[in-house]
Amino acid sequence: MASYTIPHAPGFVANDAPRIVTERFDHPDSYTLERYLATGGYEGLRAALERTPEEVHGEVRSATLLGRGGAGFPAGVKWGFCPPGVWPRYLVVNGDESEPGTYKDRLLMELDPHQLIEGCLIACYAVGLSQCFLYIRGEMAVAQERVAQALNEAYEAGWVGRNICGTDFSVDIVLHWGAGAYVVGEETALIESLEGNRGMPRLKPPYFPAAIGLYGQPTIVNNVETLANLPWILRHGAEAFTAIGTPTSPGTRMVAVSGHVQRPGVYEITNGTTTFRDLIYGEDYCGGMHPGRELKAFVPGGGSAPWFTPAQLELPFEASEVGPQGSMLGSGAVMVMDDTTDIPAAALTLTKFYAHESCGKCVPCREGATWLERVLRRVCDGTGTPRDLDVLFEVGASICPGDFPHAAVPERGLEPKPFPYQMTTICFVGPSAFAPVHSAMTLFPEEFEARVAPNAHLDTGPSHGPASGTGPSDGSAPNSISEVAIRV
């Protein structure tokens, strides 16, 4: 054990919904092998080893376990993309969680690392992956410690390494850690990084590294939360899993809700049926907005996702319903803005993020994201012109030609434009830089027009943050828009 006290990562809020991946979070020692074994740990692996790899793969396929990293692709189907007869195959675990608003994989790594390790083992067994690389985001020092500790315990106890459980199943899990680059969350960039290179996404096709991945070999890249579901599925069966949620979005998923709600938190919700209204207003969840405040907009699936307004509150966490309404569920991250939010400034915090994180490989993203940030910044400063608003759309169109997805705006008779978009870049960082700009300008054009009106800067001061203040310090509603200049 570490010789010092590691503060318990906060944020998780339990409720009555079924719990699959967070079932041990209430125990203060949830991360130890002892607790893990006392609560059904490694039983999923034992169950898997009593069946053939093909049967285990089949079980996961029939569970319709959708990837929890952002794209939502079924894990069992992805596993099937490995070309037959090409060996060795690898597993790369994507623990590079860094999408704005996303906070779940870190909890899973810090609070239940053995569950992740067991998930890795089950995947390796089912698909014949001979080595596993568990890539953890560089900035997550405590997650790295917890996983390292858990791996050391698991090796010592015979759960990882040579002849696991006395069978001929043998696999090493190597803890790898990054050094700070959002784009590395893109699976081919993750592989580049793991090969010791600059973390730039690879040209496509091939679209899936299952065909050509690490060292040119078939490679499965799975998100932490996706793998963390496997022990439960093998322990209880695919049928029990699909009994939760809906047929097309079964099981549960972890969602972090942040921003202007009463009780921001990380919730394990029932997939497919829980609605955004349940999540934002439900008593078991965020408990609604601060007193006296109203919901203005929310980002439904991480910083890359087009925004929603109260008109979309009834939508459930179901990709087939959210996509046609103009956005995506992404990585389980809802960011909530109340009626005091400065919308252009809020969009700027996200666009600046993507401009900063653009790897520079594709010109439309490298140049486009930078210009989106610069132009949006001067609009926010009150030094922009009406022409700047056209420029923002023009630059965006050079990254994403054609109509960009957006939500319906009933009061202006605007129909939703379904997800996804066309793109001129290799990966999603470029379009992600445009998404907040496009959403903000489409849903709240008047806020931008006011900012570029003649002498607007005299009204607004040098610049404003999106903040409505740091929350109710005296138990009342948040302050009005801060007078303090923001530099985002």
Q: Which is nearer to other proteins, 362 or 397 (CB)?
A: 362
How many residues are given for the chain? 488
Q: Which is nearer to other proteins, 100 or 326 (CB)?
A: 100
Which of 301, 332, 126, 115 has its CA nearest to residue 134? 115
Candidates 14, 71, 148, 481; binder of other proteins (CB under 8 A) is 148
Q: Minimum distance between the CB of residue 256 and other proteins, rounded to whole angstroms? A: 6
Which of 196, 153, 223 has its CA nearest to residue 2? 153
Please, which of residues 396-455 interact with other proteins by CB under 8 A?
A: none
Can residue 198 be called a binding residue for other proteins (CB under 8 A)?
yes
Sheet of strand 333-338, all strands in order from the earlier edge strand to the far edge: 265-270, 252-259, 333-338, 295-299
Candidates 209, 245, 250, 264; binder of other proteins (CB under 8 A) is 264
Can residue 139 be called a binding residue for other proteins (CB under 8 A)?
yes
Verify cis geometry, omega within 30 degrees of 0, for the bond prior to 88: yes
Q: Which is nearer to other proteins, 411 or 474 (CB)?
A: 474
Q: Minimum distance between the CB of residue 277 and other proteins, rounded to whole angstroms? A: 19
Q: Which is nearer to other proteins, 142 or 244 (CB)?
A: 142
Can residue 103 be called a binding residue for other proteins (CB under 8 A)?
yes
Verify cis geometry, omega within 30 degrees of 0, for the bond prior to 205: yes
SS (H, E, C) 372-431: HHHHHHHHHHCCCCHHHHHHHHHHHHHHCCCCCCECCEHHHCECCECCCCCCCCCCCHHH
Can residue 486 be called a binding residue for other proteins (CB under 8 A)?
yes
Q: Which is nearer to other proteins, 105 or 278 (CB)?
A: 105
Candidates 23, 172, 367, 388; binder of other proteins (CB under 8 A) is 172
Strands 89-95 and 219-223: parallel
| Beta strand segments in 111-230, E | 129-136, 172-177, 219-223
Stretch that binds other proteins, among 73-81, 131-139, 235-243, 445-453 (CB under 8 A): 131-139
- Give the span between the Cα atoms of 333 and 354, in whole angstroms: 16
Stretch that binds other proteins, among 32-40, 46-54, 203-211, 322-330 (CB under 8 A): 46-54
Q: Which is nearer to other proteins, 27 or 176 (CB)?
A: 176
- Residue 219's DSSP bridge partners are 90
Stretch that binds other proteins, among 1-9, 364-372, 377-385, 425-433 (CB under 8 A): 1-9
Which of 330, 353, 305, 293 has its CA nearest to residue 479? 293
Work out the number of other CB atoms within 10 angstroms of the CB of residue 244. Answer: 17
Mind giving me the DSSP string for 256-284?
Answer: EEEESBSS-EEEEEETTT-BHHHHHH-TT
Instruction: Please state, in angstroms and as integers, the Cα–Cα distance from residue 390 to each residue in 42, 372, 432, following that order.
Output: 57, 11, 19
Please, which of residues 200-259 interact with other proteins by CB under 8 A?
A: 215-217, 256-259
Please, which of residues 281-320 interact with other proteins by CB under 8 A?
A: 299, 303
Stretch that binds other proteins, among 180-188, 269-277, 427-435, 448-456 (CB under 8 A): 180-188
Q: Minimum distance between the CB of residue 7 and other proteins, rounded to whole angstroms? A: 7
State phi, psi for 333 to the nearest 5 degrees.
-140, 115
Q: Minimum distance between the CB of residue 402 and other proteins, rounded to whole angstroms? A: 26
Size of the site for other proteins (CB under 8 A): 110
Can residue 270 be called a binding residue for other proteins (CB under 8 A)?
no
Rounded to the nearest 10 degrees, how much is the dihedral formed by the CA atoms of 382, 383, 386, 387? -150
Can residue 468 be called a binding residue for other proteins (CB under 8 A)?
yes
Please, which of residues 339-368 interact with other proteins by CB under 8 A?
A: 341, 345-346, 349-350, 352-353, 356-357, 359
Mark residues 12-41: x for contact with other proteins by CB under 8 A, - for none. ------------------------------
State phi, psi for 437 to the nearest 5 degrees.
-65, -50
Can residue 160 be called a binding residue for other proteins (CB under 8 A)?
yes
- Residue 128's DSSP bridge partners are none
Q: Minimum distance between the CB of residue 59 and other proteins, rounded to whole angstroms? A: 15
Q: Which is nearer to other proteins, 78 or 290 (CB)?
A: 290
- Give the span between the Cα atoms of 149 and 171, in whole angstroms: 18
Stretch that binds other proteins, among 68-76, 188-196, 401-409, 450-458 (CB under 8 A): 188-196
Q: Which is nearer to other proteins, 118 or 321 (CB)?
A: 118
Can residue 176 be called a binding residue for other proteins (CB under 8 A)?
yes
Q: Which is nearer to other proteins, 366 or 453 (CB)?
A: 366
Which residue is it, tokens 């090969």? 195
Q: Which is nearer to other proteins, 202 or 260 (CB)?
A: 260
CA atoms within a 13 Å half-sphere pointing along the CA-CB vector of 81: 20
